[in-house]
Structure 1
């Protein structure tokens, strides 16, 4: 930590102590909930089963030098294998204990990076506070999924941009090989040499890791076949439409497949196609924004990253509750800057995160049944996310659409004139 940051920490010991205490208490509560995962108040329960059984099953395949083959639940890029193998780095503990310990360490690393950035001149500790308070809204779920590790790649990438575009790009490229979406954090890099460096570094890092994994492991690309077969998850925006249609008499039902509870029945394929079309439209909007943007601030890269991930999340065929970890992390990066346009968006994300916990695990059975309670919950959660996505893009677009206005110094009055010319603003 630099001298200036250390000095800033000494000037603000109380906020830092408060944030440290909040992190310790909230993570202790999350661990307690994880230990009591099957308690009745937690609803469906069994959040930790994914690590105990599914991750551990994949770990057993990966340690023998191969990726899962023909497994419809294995839909992740090859880099995910390294995360699932990482608990082996901690000897003397079970796989589950090692996974949770490394997730907590990653969570702490993200917090320290947000604190370090927030202590700089002109920055804010609100981002660190959002990260501390946002994750526990999902109860113990973040500790039993590897999305905290994925989010760390995106958060650290954005925070590294101002100091080293190459490091920023490398982290984004490595993150993309773990779960694809971290590549979106580069959408807002300022035009010019730094942007080219970041994108080139991302491509080189991803290519290098992919080559290494293809050399060390067999069948690294089987996930592509499984990803294409996914349908419409009941928690997605399309799933909300089908859930309401079910209440109106649509004969579809739900089935557990491809690692999620999905709808099956008439018109499901058409809804999935519409979702994909909306994703393409979202990508087109982001490209148009990128081409028309004229003004960048230090907050623009993180604001654009949040808008991009929100758009792709809302239009996805799958919106699992752990996806909220991504949005909380990106919103936290936005709030480290005093120039961000995304403060109201961050509040919507927190509201959607809290609602996601009611959806799963608390009342997930109601969602599976498409009861009125389940439908209203999904309508609320996905409505909040849709509003956040639209608001995020609109605020980003307005903030970057034109260059800042500069005041032109008034001209000297002509000899003999008693009137000064009007001050005029010119667009630089």
Structure 2
């Protein structure tokens, strides 16, 4: 560490000695002039020091760039209000003057030769006092202050990662961190959006899968119901066929040899009601007419437009009318069984030819004889 030049030694003039440079010229101590006034006004302890120009061999102590090592490193300035840098400089200057004055006082009071005062290295002082380096640099221009301020700003907030990346400037470091933070925020937003999209896709896939499962389940259920319905229908048809087969054994057609000529509901002027109310079986006159099922004869005789008519009432209340007969073979109140002959085919009453006019009535109303016979397992 380089040392500073020692402070100049104070010039000691004995009391009453010759003072040069006074307005009264040269003379022994006590002459009138500025010297007297200076001596008279000097405080106690400073009587031997006269106000005079320093000798040629004395130099003013003023550190320069050649005598003081340049400040190394960068220091942060902590500003507390205004004038912080000026106050630090003033403190340093007052300390130096006090040290020089103390040395001079000790020399004057003790009568000993002046003591040289060695000041510490200003570089180390500058290192320990923020903002002083710019003052002791020796440059009177504004560049050192600007450099100091730039040094402070350039090192503010600079981290090791910034130094590794080479962004040691405070603005660049701040800009880099802002950009990095923005990038992180964008990345987080993108991640959140990506997660939302993934969640939405998963939800859509789950909904689609659920819908497909529901559709498959519905289709399977419908198919099972259809199969069940088909099976039930097949079972019903089977039961109906069995019932009809059983009924067929107890029911028979009213005539064996015939041709169907007029059906139920046919319209024409030949029928007083305007439509045909029965089923016509045409055949040869005298063809035997049989009881379709067992029952009781409730009517047997002439019935005007119907000619000779026989009414057979079944056990369930259904009435079977046999009309236009040529002759009757039963009487009222007689019990008959399936297939018993009850009369003969003819052409009596309001007819255009020989035939059997067969009517089926339930509750007094005429129904289609063809459908009724088929319902009994018979096929006319």
Which TM bucket (shorter chain)?
under 0.3
Between Structure 1 and Structure 2, the one with more strand by share is 2
Q: TM-score, structure 1 length as denominator?
A: 0.16
Larger RCO (CA under 8 A, 6+ residues apart): 1
Structure label with greater radius of gyration: 2
- Larger % of helix: which? 1
What's the TM-score once normalised by structure 2's chain length?
0.18
